[in-house]
């Protein structure tokens, strides 16, 4: 559905709610089953009647957001403000909760509900979830309830959620998803019963968009079956963690020159690889999986500080989940935890992508890399003695691998 149409429809519902009506965004049967609205929550004691009446969600995202006192939260598409008020309780007076909505009528309703609740730690912003009016790294958690399915640019909405989250920040969302059945009859039936199914993603599409935005630790749990392949779901993911002033994000083509420069600087140490010259970007890109591929950047200057990427070890399908990774940190930025943060993010994202074994060959002289890999769950498979010649010298390589405890048998 087009953005303006969505805003018009929810503005109308907001005006009805302001007039004291219970608003419903799905067929009565679904509403009565408690799948939608305030009935989907665990504990709503103490919330104003107006906020409960206006609840148009499809689950309880705040319950899984792990909110702590003092944290800052953003609710995408905050509607009548129910999740903002629930979050505000959890983060307490030293925390802050932003509610963002494109409908001015919904903002009026939410502000009235917040005033009635006496919530002083909340602020409602007018804007679109595809262009969030907050600076980067502004919040510890992004929550949302039955909104992302409405967006006509979901990739932009998820990229914005990633941008505004601090490294290590959580994405905890309730949404409507489909099982991808293309049968138009089932789909039409679902659309009649459950509002906004038309734009809902399948679970796989959701995972893919979250991955592309840079998220790791992705979990999508179906929470209610609305029939005809439509479900409510809790969608959770994490923005990779790294130290202050830095960020881990997906590698982009614009990073090519800096990525290759760091690659070359690593090769020049003589302890990174048998290669002596970094490849062209085309060769680099062609030889590596598009995902996971991360860079660590300085958020002030935008400078790339390190990168991690992987190549498949074989084209045989039996090895589909086995990759060989490369991890390079700018020689001037060692010992800031960048390698550890990149490798941690890479492991989590590779498990999301169904990769069960990550392997790497490391020169025995590169003791820092061997120690880092051991710390993150890699084991030494063995030493391949005098396996190749580097600048005319026969050298050993230690083969390390990490077998995922979560993926595969």
Ligand X SMILES: C[S@@+](CC[C@H](N)C(=O)[O-])C[C@H]1O[C@@H](n2cnc3c(N)ncnc32)[C@H](O)[C@@H]1O
Please identify which residue in 88, 102, 220, 358 interacts with ligand X, judged by CB under 6 A: 102
Question: Is the Cβ of residue 82 or residue 400 nearer to ligand X in the bound state?
Answer: 82
State how far the Cα of 361 lies from the Cα of 377, in Å rounded to an integer: 15
Asked if omega into 292 is within 30° of 0 (cis), the reply is: yes
Question: Is the Cβ of residue 102 or residue 248 nearer to ligand X in the bound state?
Answer: 102
222 CB neighbour count, 10 Å cutoff = 12
Please identify which residue in 30, 64, 73, 79 interacts with ligand X, judged by CB under 6 A: 79
Residues 121/18/30/151 CA torsion (nearest 10 deg): -60
Residues 6+ apart with CB under 8 A from 170: 65, 66, 140, 141, 142, 236, 237, 238, 239
- Counting every residue written for the chain, the total comes to 409
- Stretches 123-131, 308-316, 334-342, 361-369: which one binds ligand X (CB under 6 A)? 123-131
Please identify which residue in 48, 50, 80, 169 interacts with ligand X, judged by CB under 6 A: 80
State how far the Cα of 356 lies from the Cα of 21, in Å rounded to an integer: 52
State how far the Cα of 152 lies from the Cα of 127, in Å rounded to an integer: 15
State how far the Cα of 237 lies from the Cα of 161, in Å rounded to an integer: 11
- Stretches 98-106, 226-234, 356-364, 375-383: which one binds ligand X (CB under 6 A)? 98-106
Using CB under 6 A as the binding rule, whether residue 266 contacts ligand X is answered as no
Give the footprint of ligand X on residues 141-170 (CB under 6 A): 145-147, 150-151
Of 248, 183, 237, the closest CA to residue 206 belongs to: 237
- Stretches 127-135, 228-236, 329-337, 360-368: which one binds ligand X (CB under 6 A)? 127-135
- Stretches 114-122, 125-133, 205-213, 306-314: which one binds ligand X (CB under 6 A)? 125-133
State how far the Cα of 101 lies from the Cα of 133, in Å rounded to an integer: 11
- Least distance (Å) between residue 109 CB and ligand X: 9
**CB-hemisphere CA count at 13 Å for 287?**
12
- Least distance (Å) between residue 61 CB and ligand X: 9
State how far the Cα of 220 lies from the Cα of 11, in Å rounded to an integer: 30
Question: Is the Cβ of residue 63 or residue 146 nearer to ligand X in the bound state?
Answer: 146
List Cα–Cα distances, 174 to 78, 219, 309, in angstroms: 12, 12, 31
Question: Is the Cβ of residue 20 or residue 409 nearer to ligand X in the bound state?
Answer: 20
Please identify which residue in 64, 82, 86, 237 interacts with ligand X, judged by CB under 6 A: 82
Please identify which residue in 35, 67, 106, 142 interacts with ligand X, judged by CB under 6 A: 106
Site string for ligand X, 59-78 (x = CB under 6 A): ------------------xx
- Stretches 124-132, 203-211, 229-237, 397-405: which one binds ligand X (CB under 6 A)? 124-132
Using CB under 6 A as the binding rule, whether residue 101 contacts ligand X is answered as yes
Q: Are 184 and 178 in contact (CB under 8 A)?
A: no
Question: Is the Cβ of residue 106 or residue 305 nearer to ligand X in the bound state?
Answer: 106
H or E segment at 381?
strand 379-390
Question: Is the Cβ of residue 151 or residue 258 nearer to ligand X in the bound state?
Answer: 151
State how far the Cα of 29 lies from the Cα of 305, in Å rounded to an integer: 54
- The residues binding ligand X (CB under 6 A) are 3, 6-7, 10, 25, 55-57, 77-80, 82-83, 100-103, 106, 128-130, 145-147, 150-151
């Amino acid at each position: 559905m087009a953005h303006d149409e969505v805003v018009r429809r929810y503005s109308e519902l907001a005006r009805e709610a302001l007039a004291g009506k219970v608003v419903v965004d799905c067929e009565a049967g679904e509403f009565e089953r408690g799948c939608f609205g305030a009935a989907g929550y665990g504990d709503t004691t103490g919330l104003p009647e107006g906020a409960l009446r206006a609840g148009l969600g499809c689950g309880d995202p705040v319950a899984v957001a792990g909110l702590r006192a003092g944290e800052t939260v953003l609710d995408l598409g905050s509607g009548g403000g129910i999740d903002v008020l629930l979050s505000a309780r959890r983060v307490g007076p030293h925390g802050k909760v932003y509610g963002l909505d494109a409908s001015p009528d919904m903002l009026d309703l939410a502000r009235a509900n917040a005033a009635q609740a006496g919530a002083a730690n909340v602020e409602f912003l007018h804007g679109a979830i595809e262009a969030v009016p907050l600076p980067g790294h502004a919040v510890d958690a992004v929550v949302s309830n039955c909104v992302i399915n409405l967006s006509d640019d979901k990739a932009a909405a998820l990229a914005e959620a990633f941008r505004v989250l601090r490294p290590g920040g959580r994405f905890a969302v309730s949404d409507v998803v489909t099982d991808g059945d293309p049968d138009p009859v089932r789909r039409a039936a679902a659309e009649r019963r459950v509002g906004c199914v038309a734009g809902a993603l399948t679970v796989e599409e959701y995972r893919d968009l979250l991955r592309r935005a840079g998220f790791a630790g992705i979990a999508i749990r179906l929470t209610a079956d609305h029939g005809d392949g439509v479900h409510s779901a809790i969608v959770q993911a994490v923005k990779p963690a790294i130290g202050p002033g830095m960020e881990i994000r997906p590698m982009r083509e614009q990073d090519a020159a800096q990525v290759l420069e760091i690659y070359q600087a690593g090769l020049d140490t003589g302890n990174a690889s048998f290669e002596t010259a970094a490849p062209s970007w085309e060769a680099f890109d062609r030889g590596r999986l598009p995902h996971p591929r991360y860079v660590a950047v300085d958020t002030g200057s935008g400078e790339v500080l390190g990168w991690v990427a992987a190549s498949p070890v074989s084209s045989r399908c039996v090895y589909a989940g086995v990759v060989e990774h490369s991890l390079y940190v700018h020689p001037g930025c060692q010992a800031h935890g960048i390698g550890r943060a990149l490798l941690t993010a890479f492991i989590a994202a590779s498990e999301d992508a169904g990769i069960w074994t990550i392997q790497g060959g490391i020169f025995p002289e590169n003791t820092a890399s061997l120690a880092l890999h051991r710390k993150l769950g890699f084991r030494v498979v063995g030493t391949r003695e005098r396996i190749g010649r580097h600048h005319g010298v026969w050298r050993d390589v230690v083969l390390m691998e990490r077998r995922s405890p979560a993926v595969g048998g």
